[in-house]
Every structure is written in C-alpha cells, then in structure tokens.
Structure 1
Amino acid sequence: MAESLTKAIHHFIEDRYQTKREALDKDHEKERSQATTAQDIESVEAKFAKKREKLLFEHDVSNWLDNASKLASKISMATHIAKFTHSSSKGSSFLAEVFDSDPRYLDTNSISEPAIDIAVSDAKAAYVGSFMRLEDQQGISLYEYFKNEDYSSLTAFTTNQPQLESWITGLSEALKDTQPSSHTFGKQVYFPVNDGFYHLLIPLYSSSISQGIYDEIQYCRFSKGMKEVRGAKKIHLWHESYLVSYPNIAMTSIGGSNAQNVSKLNSGRRGINYLFSTRPPEWQSQLKAPLTSDNIFTHPELRYATRFAIKRLVSFLIQVNQQERESNLAIRNKIKRLVDEVIDEVFAKVSQWQQLPLGWSDEANELPAAQCRWLDPNNSKRDQHDDQWLQDIAKAFGGWLVDNVNHFAKDELSLGLVESNQWQEAFKQALREIS
C-alpha cells in the first residue's frame, strides 16, 4: 500500500529532523552558557538561528528527497559485498536475485527471502540505504517498489513532474552499478575453460547468507521458544518443539570497530559473522562385545588403553632398581600413584563394555563368570550378592600387571608374588569403591 509507505517516508524524514534539531539545541545551550557579554549572546543567537533555518530547509520533504536522490549513487543495494574481502576495497558489490543453484550447496538462492544489504562508498550517503529499506504496512520496502517500477509513494511530495523523475532516476542508482569494477584489494581467480582461454572470476562474500545464518543461530540461542525447550530438557520434561543447536561454531569479526564501513547488515551484527565447522568426520571405531575373549585383561583393546600407564610404571621401577635405592615412603607412594593410573585406564575401558546392551555376556562362552558379572553388571542372571567375583577379578589383575611389567622391563628387573598380591589388593579396594 503506497499510502502507508508515503507516511513512513514522511515520518522518517521528520524523525531525522527532530534528532538533528535536538543535537543543535544542545550545542546552542552550551555555547550560550559560555557567552559572557551581550554581544557574544547576540552572536550565538544569530549563528544558531541561521543553522535552524538551514536545517529546516534541508528537511523539507521535497528538498530532502532532492539531496537523497543525488547521494543514492554512493550506495548499492546488494547481496554480495566487496568490502567483506577487504574493508578498503572500492570494487563493485553485487545484487544476486535470480541465478542457478545446486541443492547440494548452501548458497544465497537457498534462502527464500534473502536479506538485502547496503554497501556504502561514502558515509554521508549511509542514511539513503535506511531510507530505501522503509516498508509499508505489508512489509514491502521502498526498494521493492522501485524494483517493480512503482513510484506512487513519492507522488504525494511534488506536483513537479521533472522533479519526480529526478528523484526516480537518482534513487534508482542504488539498485544498480552502471560501471561494475574490481579493485586492487579484491580477489581474482583465473579459471580455465578451453585451451588457452579462461574466465577471470571475482569471488564476493554473500552478506545475505551471513545474515540468514546469524538470524538462525541467534534465534536458536536466545529466542523465547528455544529457551522454553532448553528449560524443559534441563528438568527432563517433554516439549512439543524441537531443540535446535549448532555446535562447533566459529566467529569472525569483520570491520573491527567500524563495522558499518563494510555494510549495513554487518553493522547490525556488530561485525559478527558465524562459520560452520567444515572439518571432515572423525573416525570412531564401533565398540564390540568381547565375546571371544577368555580373559578381559589380555583383550587387545584393554592392552592398548593401558600401555602408556604401564610403561611409566616400568620406567620408574627400573630407575629405582638401577640406583639400588632402599624402599621408602616417597618411593612407595610414587609406585602406588602409577599403579592407580593403570587401574584408572582399566576402569575407563571397562566402563565402555558396561554400556553395551543388557545381557550381552550370555553369549560370552569363554569369559570367566566373575568377569561377566563385572562387565555386564545389570544382567539379572549374574549373582549380585556374591563378593567372590571381586576377589577373582582382583587376582587376575595382579597377575596380569606383574606379567606386563616383566614383559616391558625385559631383563632389567623381575617381579613376582609379592607385587602381584599388593596390586591385587589395590585393585580390589578400587573395585569396591565404584561397584
């Protein structure tokens, strides 16, 4: 509805006038308070009376539109902004409205209604971009009216046809770039097409995509609806809506302290532009139940998980043995800490098998009953009250760790029953604490 847009234009110009008038009045009061003589006061009053007259003249709707139409060539309504490549680039920005798209890729055409950004080559013309984005009651912008060659919203401000045409011609400059160009600070890619021929491509950053991603992530993080869903999830309640989140988000800040120099939308985002993770997927081995094992301590995955902790224990024992140092409290405590590290690695690996589906150990024909009880703890077929399984597993651990130490130590040292019994008790105590 052109009438509502006409009102929006009038209010926009009036608001700008009032804002500048208030600033002028503050300056007037400041200078008047500093005047010390009648002559100074008279000079201040004359000065600001002239400024008010000039301000009022400039914000007469007809005069204001005259000036705005002259500055419109300094802005570009665009989806792809050159200054995202370099903030000092003076290359052309680009308005991509209809172009081919591949559904396998996220591009500007993936967005049903991409936001139109504003590139500004002269800061004095920045307000013209806001003017072109004024909307009527149905949310249709002045930019869209111009794109559809509908200029009816401006006809109420003049009866002078040549003046109306000058407004249309001038403001239309914001929708096109009559002399598209690249710039030294732009990027260029030579793309071969035939033998000896190539296209010179100039990649431009899509501010429309960046705005779409920004709006989506901000909604998922801060909207009332998403907060309600997260609140329900936190207290384990059902909610009719999905919880949407975007993990591993990176963020770039474009434009530094002068984000508006890059574009209008970039300024609204405070320079924030989100990036999705494009790392390749990480390989995760599928956890398999140890059905064919006859001793969980000799299982390849557990040996692999504990190898470094055992080697640290062996290294310290060899060092003590070579120095022929007598056992003291410090040495014993050190050995205990190293054995505890091995136990922790064992428990960490075993906890993965304990998460397997209930009853998986029923098919483990070779695995000792005590180890089945340990690895499949919620299986009702296993005796939950018999503590003998603790002793059996601890004994298996003690013997296994001594064998591993002797294996890695080779001929440097040889451990036996004393160490096996000590480590057996340490393991049994740890097992009781977590069972």
Structure 2
Amino acid sequence: MTDNTRSWQAAIALFIQDRLQAKLDKLPDDDPKRAELLAQHQYDAWIEDAARRAAQIQAVTHSLKPIHPDARGTNLYVEPASLPALEELGSHTLGTAFAGDVVGNAAALDVYKFLKLEANGRSLLAALLAQDEAALQALHADPAQAQASRDAFVGLTQPRAGGASSHPLAKQLYWLTGNDPCADGDYELLAPLYATSLAHAVHVPIQEDRFGEANKAARQARRERKAHDGVFHDYPWLAVQKLGGTKPQNISQLNSERGGVNYLLASLPPAWKASEMRLPVHAESVFDRVFSARPWVKSTVRQLRKFLESNLEPNQETRQRREAYIETLLDELVSMAGTFQQTMPAGWTRPGADNEGRFQQLARTEQLWLDPLRAELPDEADFAREWMGMDWPAEIGKRFAAWLNAQLENKLPVGDAEFREWKKVLLTDEDSFKQQLRELRDRLDTPHDIPIRKTHAELVAEREDTP
C-alpha cells in the first residue's frame, strides 16, 4: 500500500467517522439504533452504500433547476478548462479552480460531499475521473469492487440516459443561425441553463465584501471619514435572488450552502449623457442644429411660446416677463459661443485636412463670432480685418432674431429682438481680446497684418465721419 493510498484512506475514514458521530450525538446511549448506525458506517459498507446512492444525484456546472424548480430536463457537467476561451466573462474563466454543484435527491447530497474530499493535492472525484490508482485502492481492497464503486461515483458527472431534453417549464428561445428569418430551418432552439459554478464563484467574494470583518472595518472608516489602510468594496444596486424558498437544498448543494442567496449585479444600460457642445458639422448656421438642441433653450422657447399664446394684456408686466425669457436665451447664446471660443482650436472653422471641411459651410459671420482666435494665424489677415471691422455682431443679432421669430411662429413683436446692443452682448470684453491678439502677435516669428492699433470706438467714428 502506497502513502497516497493511506492518505486517501485516512481522509475517507475521518469523513465517515464525523458523520457517524454527528448522528450518535443525537441518540441516547441505550438507543438500539446506535448498533444499526455503527454497522452502516463501517468503512466498506458505507462506501458501497454511497456508490449505490450516487445514481440519485448528478454533478453539474450548469443546472436547470434554478430556472424552475419543477423543470425536469438535462443538466450539464462541463469542466470550465475545457470550454472555449472567450473575451466575455463566463464559466471558462474559472479554469481548474471551480466548485462543482450537485442536483437530485437531497438525502444523497452527502455522497457529493464525500467526493469533494481532498488529499494528495486534488479532490477524490478528480482523482477517480483520472483513474488514480491510489484513490481506487482506497475505495476497496478488491480491484473489481473498487472499479465498480469508481464507475458509480464518476457516473454522476455524466448526462442522464435518453439524450438531451428540455421541459415545458424551462426557458427556451429560437436563435437565428441562417439568413432567412422566415424559414424554420434557419433557427436553433436554445435552452439556457444556470451557470451554477460561476454563480458560486461570484457569490463568495461578494459575501466576504459584504459581511467580512476587513470590509466592515473599511466601511466603518469610510462612514466616519477616517483614514484606513484597507480597501473598501461596494456593489451599488446589488440584488438578491432567493432560490428554493425554505428548502434551498432542493435546488442544489451549492445553493444550499449559500442559503438560497444568489447575487445579481446591476446589469443596466449606460446612462447616455449628451455632449454639452455639439458641432455644426456641414451646417450653415449653429442656430438650428446646435443652439436649438440645448435643453435649456428648448425649455425656454417652449415656455415663451406658451406665454405669448396666452393673449395677455400688453402692459409693463407682460413686457418684463417676455424680456426675462429673451434674456435667458441670450445667456445661453453667450454661453454656447464661449464654449466654442474656449475649447476649439484656433482656425477650426476654416477648410483644411484637420476637419475635412466639415465646418466650411458655416456662415462667415458665425465663423467670425465663434472662431475669433483664427485672427491670430499668420495667413488670416483678411479674417482678422473683418473681425476688427465689428460688422458681424449686428449680423449675429439679426440671425438670432430671425431664428427666434421662426421658433415662435412670428408671435414676437418686430423690433424686440433685433434692436439690441449686440456688440456689448456678444463680445463681453473687446479690449481684453485686443490685448490677447497683441501678445500673440509679438510671440510669432512671422509678423502679419492684423489691424489692432485702432479701438472699436475709433473704427465706428471713422465710419460715421465717412460721407
């Protein structure tokens, strides 16, 4: 007899003795059942009975019972290492470190516990599946009897006779495998099973993170805002699915060990958050595609239209309310322009390889408004001259007025939107921008003609003096 055989025998004998002692402790010393239990738990007798009862259970990695406890169909035992390697998370990621499950008669679940005994670096079931000679000798001194017991034990990993089958209470779905969705022959009928070994592998670390002492200490430190050396683990939106009710062992052995608890991680679609800045790709104006799409703009226009349709008296209060709505839109207008001016690179509106001409259709007036730093580029003297000419703010004002009247279906009295101090509203700080252009020009190696010597007031005075 080898040392490996002795190791298996010692593990088996201890397992049988522990089960016997647990039952004897429940009986008085003079109970006649004690002698019966002692006979049943003799080494060879217990293994023989366990081999007989092994047919009542089935080892599985993918089970049907969690789908529906009354479903009667095929369960599968597939070692994860034998599954195809995929990028997605699945049972294949468990490798050789996995916990097999067992379904069937709950009274025979002790047989699987027996097969999970470990010695010599692996479980008894794994050893028997590999025809380990030491494990066979530990089952019985007679080789034929040992082989018969081994075949009975490993039989619980094999599919039941009769071939694969589903059940009316099991989930089923048709999966299109061909090209014609109208042809029945182009579908495969799939019967999903519950990946019980994978579920158990997920359960163990989550359970430790929820109730383990280490995470409790980290959670307490986080609650009290104190420094902590450990790592705090949390699982937002975690759900718990209870399988089996008050009898979780009727589902499976691992489900019984978990008390019927099966964790469901949040499987939610990503919350789509629209970008705050849309680009006017192949657009002639930012008003229709970009400005109109801003949430606050849409809300304000809707409220203003409703207000104007209410036929209120043309008094001071009405004018003030209307002015407040328009001021809100103007704030949004300045905010949108500021986003373009501060985040987009200089010259983003001009045709070129960088933007593939996506913005060259934008009106020249709006290019001057939204891309002012384009004036600092060496080959953009004409653009700089137009910008400093200060004709474009009034044009932007007209565009805004036309857009707003179109949104309100011409309900806004003419003149309320057009005649405003657009230069003051749209430029915010003209002198600061002039200074920025001066500093940028001074740093350029190649000087270019940007007419920045005259102030806006001087340019306006010149135009007014011209006959």
Task: Judge same fold: TM > 0.5, yes or no.
Answer: yes
CA 1:109–1:57 in structure 2 vs 1: closer, same or farther (change >3 Å)? same
CA 1:328–1:278 in structure 2 vs 1: closer, same or farther (change >3 Å)? closer
- Offset of 1:141 from its aligned partner? 1.2
Q: For residue 412 of structure 1, what is the aligned residue in structure 2?
A: 411
Identify unmatched segments of 5+ residues in structure 1.
26-44, 232-242, 376-391, 430-435
CA distance in 1, matches of 2:419, 2:173: 68
Q: Is 2:287 the counterpart of 1:298?
A: yes
CA 1:271–1:395 in structure 2 vs 1: closer, same or farther (change >3 Å)? farther
Q: Is 2:346 the counterpart of 1:361?
A: yes
Deviations 1:136-175 (A, max 9, x none): 242x111111112236336457556676455334323323
Written as runs of structure 1 = structure 2, the 5 A alignment for 1:72-91 is 72-91=54-73
- Offset of 1:123 from its aligned partner? 0.9
Q: Kindly indicate whether the alpha-carbon contact (under 8 Å) linking 1:108 and 1:114 is maintained by their aligned counterparts in 2.
A: no
Q: Kindly indicate whether the alpha-carbon contact (under 8 Å) linking 2:139 and 2:149 is maintained by their aligned counterparts in 1.
A: no
CA distance in 2, matches of 1:70, 1:4: 24
Q: Kindly indicate whether the alpha-carbon contact (under 8 Å) linking 2:91 and 2:198 is maintained by their aligned counterparts in 1.
A: no
Written as runs of structure 1 = structure 2, the 5 A alignment for 1:191-202 is none
CA distance in 2, matches of 1:20, 1:348: 79
Q: Kindly indicate whether the alpha-carbon contact (under 8 Å) linking 2:397 and 2:422 is maintained by their aligned counterparts in 1.
A: yes
CA distance in 1, matches of 2:282, 2:168: 67
Q: Is 2:251 the counterpart of 1:253?
A: no
Q: For residue 126 of structure 1, what is the aligned residue in structure 2?
A: 109
CA 1:162–1:286 in structure 2 vs 1: closer, same or farther (change >3 Å)? same
Identify unmatched segments of 5+ residues in structure 2.
222-230, 351-363, 375-390, 429-467
Q: For residue 9 of structure 1, what is the aligned residue in structure 2?
A: 12
When the two chains are superposed, the root-mean-square deviation of aligned CA atoms in Å is 5.9
CA distance in 1, matches of 2:420, 2:280: 27
Letter in 2 for 1:405: L
Kindly indicate which of the two structures has a greater share of residues assigned to helix: 1
Deviations 1:249-290 (A, max 9, x none): 996837253544333344556453657969799898997766
**Partner secondary structure for residue 293 of structure 2:** helix
Q: Is 2:246 the counterpart of 1:263?
A: no
Q: For residue 150 of structure 2, what is the aligned residue in structure 1?
A: 168
**Partner secondary structure for residue 58 of structure 2:** strand
Q: Kindly indicate whether the alpha-carbon contact (under 8 Å) linking 2:67 and 2:194 is maintained by their aligned counterparts in 1.
A: no
CA 1:107–1:348 in structure 2 vs 1: closer, same or farther (change >3 Å)? farther
Flag the structure with more relative contact order, 1 or 2, with Cα contacts below 8 A and sequence separation at least 6.
Answer: 1
CA 1:318–1:208 in structure 2 vs 1: closer, same or farther (change >3 Å)? same
Q: Kindly indicate whether the alpha-carbon contact (under 8 Å) linking 2:203 and 2:262 is maintained by their aligned counterparts in 1.
A: no
From 280, 293, 298, the equivalent of 1:308 is: 298
Q: TM-score, normalised by structure 2?
A: 0.56
Structure with max Cα Rg = 2
Written as runs of structure 1 = structure 2, the 5 A alignment for 1:132-171 is 132-138=115-121, 140-150=122-132, 152-153=134-135, 155-156=137-138, 159=141, 164=146, 167-171=149-153
Query: What is the percentage of aligned positions where both structures have the same residue?
Result: 19
Q: Is 2:59 the counterpart of 1:70?
A: no
Deviations 1:360-392 (A, max 9, x none): 0245575677755799xxxxxxxxxxxxxxxx9
CA distance in 2, matches of 1:8, 1:343: 82
Q: For residue 323 of structure 1, what is the aligned residue in structure 2?
A: 312
**Partner secondary structure for residue 294 of structure 2:** helix
Q: For residue 385 of structure 2, what is the aligned residue in structure 1?
A: none
**Partner secondary structure for residue 315 of structure 1:** helix
Q: Kindly indicate whether the alpha-carbon contact (under 8 Å) linking 1:402 and 1:415 is maintained by their aligned counterparts in 2.
A: no
Number of matched pairs: 370
- Offset of 1:73 from its aligned partner? 0.8
Q: Kindly indicate whether the alpha-carbon contact (under 8 Å) linking 2:171 and 2:191 is maintained by their aligned counterparts in 1.
A: yes
CA 1:16–1:397 in structure 2 vs 1: closer, same or farther (change >3 Å)? farther
CA distance in 1, matches of 2:98, 2:147: 28
Deviations 1:36-88 (A, max 9, x none): xxxxxxxxx57x73355554444444443233222211111223323244221
**Partner secondary structure for residue 118 of structure 2:** coil
- Offset of 1:189 from its aligned partner? 7.3
- Offset of 1:4 from its aligned partner? 3.5
Q: Kindly indicate whether the alpha-carbon contact (under 8 Å) linking 2:172 and 2:192 is maintained by their aligned counterparts in 1.
A: no
CA 1:93–1:368 in structure 2 vs 1: closer, same or farther (change >3 Å)? closer
CA distance in 2, matches of 1:74, 1:334: 81
